[in-house]
Structure 1
């Protein structure tokens, strides 16, 4: 939302989440939220100055925007998004499992659109993020990093760029590891951009072990989030446990070197063995985890980003949300990208979870805001509305009203 220097935003109800901490465990997630009925958020120069009931004293010349009979929350955190792949929207194969979808995506990547078309798709995606109330997004970046950064800035959306290393390490000592060379060049091309970037792994089966360890160590040392896709599909489970299956057939000899050997472990166990779990790690998807693995994630303070609509579209299953919540895992939400989802409105992920699991609206609101802030290690002035916090609001769909 583009704002003038001073603006007062009225709504039927405001949930400011002013003093909310990251919510772990069912009781914390489902606890009542403080509401400001007939409320006003007063913004000055892009920062929150006050959250009060109407009527209130406001400076003369302030623009008043009355949103009417709606409830609003702080700006959304989309904790997992592939903005750079927005040009693939509507062109991949859904509903037939993970590997058929992946094959269709790889085919597009081999003959990808021209830069102009990719930039236009990125711009439209960032505009859509802003329109639904997204304040910050975590984007997996393999290319087009500067295009994403510029487009997000145009629409007032903050971005954490996760620079994923895909495939085996090179057969030589690369001092730039764990940064993919293309991302590293882009990140250093604009002053300050590298501070918004973090090296990331794609997944346990598609990123070399040493690169994963190096990326994790860098992120830990620099206080940046370490992110990877984890336990997303049955094909991943089979590859890591048995060493065969569709992913081995697809990646053998390319992403997976001929010498690659399966660890004969489930994904969460393997990630622990590599030292990748713990505070500061955000595991995306976690569709195929059991109770013991949920407890392991919670005990080590590994956060989990849920992408339920993407999982449904690719027919990979549904994450055990209630199990993860009861175990005490820090849960947040992401849309994945337009190659596996119909839009980038993270509120619809919350609606999908409420429809399937009947989760309390309070839990979902926390996943959309303060939990996403914590999972990505963002400034605590995001995800909350209080004097001095960063501006940004989102309207709640009716299905998410407490």
Structure 2
């Protein structure tokens, strides 16, 4: 058994215990509470983490690990479709080994920042092998792109062929990711949803990412029309005349809930539809800033019963793959956000989106031992959240299902055994 001790323990986003401890046995949390309440420490490997906070492992609910090596390569000039063109051109130049190297770097960066669960989007399935080598918990979403309704079944068959090769385990789950309403036909959206329902897969999509997306769907105008023509993807098509989320509701995509990535420009009843369907919004704060969007709608949801999780998106539009950094950004830039809510977004909200909230996202007896340890640089803090979200705090230990996956200071080598 492994016993982690620290000055602070957060069993969940709002339950703070001084002089905390977590006992791990066979990959599970056996005890989480005050270190004073542990009576039997025989045969325990004890790690005293000092002035730090033990928290539930962070969940990155949306990223593209294969784009890790595109950091600072693509320039955004205010035109999202131009940015997409640059992205496509850059990826064309890569070999398979370069893809794999980029994915490995992304996994390493994730673990080093306390991320224990990552939702990765893959188009070609190359991420699978690298992710399965890693002890990180992963949900691999296969991205589908096809705007031609006549080839819907072929696209679905390709997806099914890819996942037949997947050997699932306790740390791997599969999802379907029809890319966005400007790259996915209505027919493919419907079939993707049907396959997800039949197979028990999670399903997600980019939605309401830009104002141009709304113009594309409501009027059939804007820069996405030119983009699709340039890629020879636009044949006969009529715009549905609906706002993005309303469009998804109209075709049945929201039924029984789904994961909606971005949702940067929600209007009126769109928020109602998300709430009524029990869907999750994934907010990527620093990528949101990179693309110069206005304040995210999640800041104005008030008492709405909507699950909001956090993602990093990729390093093509961000400076790190750290959910801790995303939470720090919200904490410092949006003072009206409650720190408990911010930590919830980075932990249990992501677990809820993946339907894993009975397994991860909290440190309670019986839960999988997915843990991040954040070093608190200040000896005295007015509240623990100031310490966790301080600009100089950092993750020093990452544990996934009881396995130590990152140990910055080598504390496991110095642990005592009682």
Q: Is the 8 A contact 2:348 2:357 kept in 1?
A: no
> Corresponding residue for 2:180?
203
- Tell me the CA shift for residue 242 of structure 1: 1.9
- Tell me the CA shift for residue 40 of structure 1: 0.7
- Tell me the CA shift for residue 170 of structure 1: 6.4
Structure 2: distance between partners of 1:258 and 1:153: 39
Q: Secondary structure at the match of 2:301?
A: helix
Q: Are residue 188 (structure 1) and residue 164 (structure 2) matched?
A: yes
- Tell me the CA shift for residue 96 of structure 1: 2.2
Structure 2: distance between partners of 1:318 and 1:149: 35
> Corresponding residue for 2:273?
296
- Sort the Cα spacing of 1:66 and 1:292 in 2 relative to 1 into closer, same or farther, 3 A: same
> Corresponding residue for 1:15?
10
TM (norm. structure 2) is 0.83
- Sort the Cα spacing of 1:10 and 1:38 in 2 relative to 1 into closer, same or farther, 3 A: same
Q: Secondary structure at the match of 2:156?
A: coil
Farther-moved stretch of structure 1 (383-392 vs 245-254): 245-254
After TM superposition, list the pairs within 5 Å mapping 1:1-400 onto structure 2. Answer: 6-17=1-12, 33-55=14-36, 56-94=38-76, 96-111=78-93, 113-143=94-124, 145=125, 147-169=126-148, 171=150, 174=153, 177-178=155-156, 181=158, 183-192=159-168, 196-252=173-229, 254=231, 256-358=233-335, 359-378=337-356, 380-396=358-374, 399=386
- For structure 2, the 5+ residue unaligned runs are 377-384, 390-418
- Tell me the CA shift for residue 288 of structure 1: 0.3
- Sort the Cα spacing of 1:295 and 1:354 in 2 relative to 1 into closer, same or farther, 3 A: farther
Q: Is the 8 A contact 2:149 2:187 kept in 1?
A: no
Q: Secondary structure at the match of 2:350?
A: helix
TM (norm. structure 1) is 0.86
Structure 1: distance between partners of 2:327 and 2:268: 22
Q: How many residues align?
A: 377
Q: Secondary structure at the match of 2:303?
A: helix
Structure 2: distance between partners of 1:278 and 1:389: 29
- Sort the Cα spacing of 1:334 and 1:15 in 2 relative to 1 into closer, same or farther, 3 A: same
- Tell me the CA shift for residue 236 of structure 1: 1.0
CA RMSD of aligned residues (A): 2.4
- Tell me the CA shift for residue 163 of structure 1: 1.0
Farther-moved stretch of structure 1 (66-75 vs 186-195): 186-195
- Tell me the CA shift for residue 399 of structure 1: 4.1
Farther-moved stretch of structure 1 (296-305 vs 163-172): 163-172
Structure (1/2) with the larger strand percentage: 2
Structure 2: distance between partners of 1:170 and 1:292: 28
- Sort the Cα spacing of 1:393 and 1:95 in 2 relative to 1 into closer, same or farther, 3 A: farther
- Tell me the CA shift for residue 387 of structure 1: 2.0
Structure 2: distance between partners of 1:172 and 1:357: 45
- For structure 1, the 5+ residue unaligned runs are 1-5, 18-31
Q: Is the 8 A contact 1:307 1:336 kept in 2?
A: yes
Structure 2: distance between partners of 1:335 and 1:230: 16
> Corresponding residue for 1:22?
none
